[in-house]
Structure 1
Amino acid sequence: MSNIFSDTVSYLTTASNWTGTADTDGLLIEIAQHLEYTFYAVGLAALIAVPIGLFVGHTGKGEVIVVGLVNMLRSLPTLGLLLLFTLWMGLGLTPTIIALVLLGVPPLLAGTYAGVANVDKSVVDASRAMGLNSLQVLLKVEFPNALPLILGGLRNATLQVVATAAIAAYVGLGGLGRPIFDGLATYDYPPMIAGSILVTLLALVLDSIIAGVAWASAPGTGRLRRVPDLAIA
């Protein structure tokens, strides 16, 4: 066991494994590919889920459908969907992104809908009494107040997608799933462990960034304008 960990450290500290060779991509390229798949999937999921969540949360129409859709999508196996779409569309990036988008939609949809629907009704009524129309209420009142929950949904979606994007290597693509699946095929454990560690670190970094934005976006706190107190007591 100690040899496996020492070999993993050696793998991670070997420059050629990061830069790659003429025949293989290095870890730096695989990290970039992994981020590319993640950003594509989460971005498309947000384009689908956020407008629907805003509409349903604002109008109250289709609540039952949204809840059922979220529960249904959460129960779908991502790897099974990937294989199904690959058999249907062939190898490539498209089936992978579609499978990851379906994984990212439920937390974004649930977070957006819940955020808007749970805005204090007295605040909404007061904004209407001030003469704001329905769209202005949504954009100037409900959306800012719902933003922390929306970002919470984005945070969950990003974590799920970045952790699952390794399956792209299962259908011949790159990303950090490449050393994992290649190592699994040849019983070469250091690349598998190294790939798993990098996926975990990538997830932690992205989670920390989004958590920081969510913390700063809380309405009424002024955190976005706050100057940190650097004085030492």
Structure 2
Amino acid sequence: MHLLIADDHMLFRSGFKLLVSQLFPVAELFDAGDANEAWDVLNADEEFHLVFLDLAMPGMNGTAGVRRFVERRPSVPVVILSAHTAPEEIAECMGLGVRGYIPKSSSESVLRNAVELVLAGEIYVPRHAIDQILTEGSTGGADDFENLPENNPLRQLTPRQRSTLSLMIEGLSNKEIARSLGLLESTVKAHVKVILRKLSAQNRTQAALIAADLGWPRRLRTWSS
């Protein structure tokens, strides 16, 4: 398994490379200090399984650089590494087709889970940004919910209810959901009650199963940071 780590800060790059090697001992790691070097390394080997890109390194030119990597090597999943955690910025990158966005403040467990998700063909989105992603439908350029049949109950959920349901599926309690979404626990309880009613579910577990049967996008799964 070949992984490329591209970041212009040598100290961070070295530490991140060491961490990835510990989490994924079978991986062969390559690194680059700017976008052009990363592109050269990527083109020298057809077997890369994942590329980590620092959003702010030289040569990226912001999202223009992201688009370049995604469009020219669509078979290689791109994961953004960034110190910026604004939901709007994350949503923009996800809309360009990247497979994940990992804040540099993330824990080891988040990194491991994110990489495993991406390598399995899914998408990693930081939990705090999922509401923005769901609202804009920018996980791959298509609105997953609008593509569902008009009579599908998932289409009757509001963006806030969808983000609540997503965290319910991950097994979070009402208190944890409230903290993640910046809501009052009483507000979350009200959302859960409406979700159960709209899905004709008796409890949270049944709601998760029904959502899956109705076509809930698996690629919207998130992991706690």
The structure, 1 or 2, with the larger RCO (C-alpha pairs under 8 Å, 6+ apart) is 1
How does the TM-score come out when normalised to structure 2? Answer: 0.23
How does the TM-score come out when normalised to structure 1? Answer: 0.22
More helix by share: 1
More strand by share: 2
